[in-house]
Amino acid sequence: MPTRIYPINTYTHFDRLIGHEIGSDADDLWIHFGYWLTDTLSAELTYDLERHGEGDATKPYPLGARSDDLWEFLSGVTESTHAFSVEGQYHGIGVFLVKGRYTFSRITNLNNQKGIRGNQHEVVLAMLYRL
């Protein structure tokens, strides 16, 4: 008997998906390199590939579907995001930290629409002081 026939079986809790933060019908590959340049200065490079299919665990199982119907992983048109990040951190003496990060993301099949592409740029600057 297939799951998700009744609303209680939609893999949610208080209208939030149960499981990983990227959601259902998705996968993620993450590669990270970090290096301490000096005692107080570090640098990091990161690559992240995140893919999302059109499947949605919040939708009930379709009425009239066969009981042996199998779910297809990365179903339909797959949205892919390739993100490249570079980050630098300065660790001051004691409790002071300054860090900056730039991320460039290239998205294909944006919102699961075949052939639609997009780019994103993100710049983050943070200064932390531990009390």
Is pTM beyond 0.85? Reply is: no
In a domain, 89, yes or no: yes
Share of the chain above pLDDT 70, in %: 81
Q: What is the pLDDT of residues 76-101, one digit of tens each?
A: 899 999 999 999 999 887 788 999 99
Number of structural domains found in the chain: 1
In a domain, 40, yes or no: yes
Q: Are 65 and 59 contacting, i.e. CB atoms less than 8 angstroms apart?
A: no
In a domain, 1, yes or no: no
In whole angstroms, what is the distance from residue 25 CA to residue 54 CA? 7
Token readout for 70 is 């199998």
In a domain, 110, yes or no: yes
pLDDT at position 7 is 55
Pairing of strands 79-91, 26-36: unpaired
In a domain, 100, yes or no: yes
In a domain, 2, yes or no: no
What is the domain range of residue 124? 7-129
In a domain, 46, yes or no: yes
User: Could you tell me the pLDDT band of residue 1, with boundaries at 50, 70 and 90?
Assistant: very low
